[in-house]
Structure 1
Amino acid sequence: MFTVIETATIDHPVDEVFAFVSDGANRPLWDPSVISEELLSPPPIGVGSRLRSRMTAVGREVEFEFRVTDFEAPRRMRITSVSGPLPTTVTFDLTPDGERTRLAARIDGEPAGMMRFVEPMIEQGVRSNLSAGVARIQALLEARTARG
């Protein structure tokens, strides 16, 4: 099992950062591995909602289905895979800091079977991807602030 955590302080209010990261339609904008993400259950999103993510991993397309297991707007969202090639949990914790937001993004993965032998490579790929994703969230939201 591995855990990867990336953090950023974003010059944007917590409710707006939460709205952005909790909307699956935005995920392809900031997560370089995601092709698409769609809500499978009726809106609004909350505990029990289901999401389908189409992603690229190791040069091939894979699909995950996630279930929202924790949703406390605008502070926390956690999704856990219910299908896909790698049991995964993704958690966003947000803390207001005046008009800024401290974002902590965490991915827990549990490679099984033959994937255990390449766990260090999987973890490094997840770390690189999450680092780029959190930086992209920050850049996208702060660009909105700069434009007014």
Structure 2
Amino acid sequence: MFGFTSDHSASGTASTIINKPVDDVFNFIGVDFFKNYPRWSPEVIECELLSDPPLRLNSLARQVRIDQGQRSESTFKVTRFDPLTKLTFEGVSNPYRCFYDFKPGRTPEQTEVTFTFELLRLELFMLPFEKLIRIAVREGAIRTVRNLKTLIES
């Protein structure tokens, strides 16, 4: 699902079944986040924990990305860290949220991962590009779960 509200926000959600147990999948994404995040999101050229390790609730982190040739830097905070079920990040310097939800699959060796990215506010200069931004957010969510599946299963 994705859409816009009257306040000019965008979101994208995608899910996949990963053929690994929930603990393996959660550890890859949540516990080993700084090692693996640039692997599933190659736009990330720098990512660092600003708080004391390990990654946990209220941890602060900084990332530098290059998306479609545009460099951006943001600080984000872990607002939920529920082992084996949910991981949520919220932008501190930019208005965004992303959610990773983990559910057991049909067998103990499967995990359903749902990734949601929400761009909470589009800046005025971005408004003429709303449609393109909506498509990019949706495609980014799909690419995220596809990359996670490929990396975790290999």
TM-score normalised by the chain length of structure 1 = 0.89
**Identity between Structure 1 and Structure 2 (%):** 30
1:131 deviation in Å? 1.5
TM-score, with normalisation over the residues of structure 2? 0.85
Provide, for residues 95-127 of structure 1, a one-character-per-residue CA deviation record: whole Å limited to 9, x for no partner. 012221000000011212222331221221222
- 1:37 and 2:62 are equivalent in the alignment: no
Out of 120-129 and 41-50, give the one that drifted further.
Answer: 120-129
19, 22, 27: which one aligns with 1:19:
27
Map 1:79-98 onto structure 2 (within 5 A). Answer: 79-84=89-94, 87-97=95-105, 98=108
Contact 1:3–1:107 (8 Å) recurs in 2: yes
Aligned residues: 141
Q: In the alignment, which residue of structure 1 is the partner of 2:16?
A: 8
Unaligned runs of 5+ in 1: 144-148
Query: 1:122 — aligned with what?
Result: 133
* C-alpha distance in structure 2 between counterparts of 1:80 and 1:116, whole Å: 22
Please state which structure has a larger fraction of its residues in strand: 1
Runs of 4+ aligned structure 1 residues displaced above 2 Å come to none
Unaligned runs of 5+ in 2: 1-8
Aligned alpha-carbon RMSD (Å)? 1.3
